[in-house]
Amino acid sequence: MNKIVRKIEKQHNLSLEELVLLIGNDCYDKDLFEAADRVRQKYVGDGVHLRGLIEFSNVCSRSCFYCGLRCENRNVNRYSLGADEIISLAGRAKELGYKTVVLQSGESSVYSVDKMVYILREIKKFDLAITLSIGEKSYEEYKQFKNAGADRFLLRIETTDTAIYKALHPDMDFSNRVKCLRNLKKLGYEVGTGCLIGLPSQTPLSLARDLLFFREIGADMIGLGPFIPNPDTPLSLERGGTFEMARKVMALVRLLMPDINIPATTAMETLSPDGRILALQSGANVVMPNVTDFVHKKYYNLYPGKSGADVPAAFAKRALEEKIEKIGRFVSEDFGFRKKNI
Ligand code: 5AD
């Protein structure tokens, strides 16, 4: 095995230059995937945590250049589920055996703080862990959601390359996004962040800096996905990211941050048949199956061909469990909080 791969497996640390080398050359890939799988086994074990994803509104006031939900996109049927519909989907997730629900939406003010607090309090009665993924909010709002029962928060930084960030998010401020992540940490959330792989102009250096940022911010979860060009966006003609590059950056995350939670993302499954299983064998230990109802999930069009959009939730869960068991892993019975182990 290569010396640098051995070093990162043992020390969980590399310089920026070493990371750039690993990212920029595919000759290390196989060794990295295997090393990440060993480190995953050693630090977080064979359990796979399933989180039921509820995409409760696709209304968005942002203009992110890569995302199909951007407010300028008129080819989307916009929906916002009522509080009782969201609560009932969470109840259904509980019945299916989930221990966590992830409430995700576009970034908007459709739901007042009071309404979100009501939804969180009601869902908490099911004894579920709750992850929110609803974008940038004020410290005070994050605090109210935490007090109402939210346990975790997902807010991808998307890229730490500030030139790319600015070009793709014209109405947003990179430093505010970082501030949001720090506020979430301060409030005691388990914090998930992550980035897109294969954005236009992104280099191995940008990705290496993303990796060091994840560690610096103290992330508890990292979700990575290949960028998949959406025809209804300004980036429709771009090439997009590859499954292998996303898999490699994910393996590096596991090697640098051995005890965190890492999802095998839907975007990875979309680009490669059995992409999630390969991801689970290259560092990942979480899967977030979609439990949104049939009518609505087809309108949550972040990118084309989103995997799982046409499969009923109960069926998809069973099929996934079988695949997990087939590779010698098991579905975890606990809430799947990060157990600090380093
Ligand atoms: N391809 C892949 N992932 C995307 N996301 C948004 N648009 C795309 C796309 N075209 C991701 C963003 C966001 C998450 C919810 O979906 O990283 O944080």
> How remote is the CA of residue 226 from the centroid of ligand 1, in Å?
8
Any ligand 1 atom below 6 A from CB of 81? no
Residue 145 C-alpha to ligand 1 middle, in angstroms? 24
C-alpha of residue 3 to centroid of ligand 1, in Å: 34
Region of 134 on the Ramachandran plot (φ > 0 left; ψ -120 to 50 alpha; else beta): alpha
pLDDT over 90 percentage in the chain: 94
pLDDT digits (tens, 9 = 90+) for 7-27: 999 999 999 999 999 999 999
- Cβ-Cβ contacts under 8 Å for 47 (sequence gap 6 or more): 285, 329, 330, 331, 332, 333, 334, 336
Ligand 1: which of 302, 303, 307 to mutate, judged by most atoms within 8 Å of the beta carbon? 302
- Choosing from 67, 181, 233 the residue with most ligand 1 atoms within 8 A of its CB, the one to mutate for a pocket test is 67
| Interval between CA 190 and ligand 1 midpoint (Å) | 21
Residue 303 near ligand 1, beta carbon < 6 Å:
yes
Does ligand 1 come within 6 angstroms of the Cβ of 230?
Answer: yes
Averaged pLDDT for residues 48-77: 98
Q: What is the pLDDT of residue 164?
A: 98
How close is the Cα of 304 to the center of ligand 1, in Å? 11
- Which residue has its alpha carbon closest to ligand 1 atom 7? 67
pLDDT at 192: 98
Helices (H), the chain: 3-11, 16-24, 29-44, 83-95, 113-124, 139-147, 162-168, 174-186, 204-217, 243-256, 266-271, 275-280, 294-297, 313-326
pLDDT interval class at 111 (50, 70, 90): very high
In tens, the pLDDT along 205-218 reads 999 999 999 999 99
pLDDT of residue 309: 77
pLDDT > 90? residue 1: no
From the CA of 155, give the closest atom in ligand 1: 18
pTM (two decimals): 0.98
| CA 54–ligand 1 middle distance (angstroms) | 16
Name the token pair of 322: 């079988």
Confidence of residue 108 (pLDDT cuts 50, 70, 90): very high
pLDDT band at 342 (very low <50, low <70, confident <90, very high): confident
Mean pLDDT of 243-263: 98
pLDDT in tens, 280-318: 999 999 999 999 998 899 999 999 988 777 888 999 999
9 lines ligand 1 (CB under 6 A): no
Enumerate domains of the chain plus CATH numbers. 2-8+17-324 (3.20.20.70)
Determine the pLDDT at residue 78: 98
Dump pLDDT digits (tens) for 130-153. Answer: 999 999 999 999 999 999 999 999
What is the model's pLDDT at position 307? 78
Amino acid 50: pLDDT: 98
Q: Looking at the predicted structure, is the pLDDT value of residue 46 above 90?
A: yes
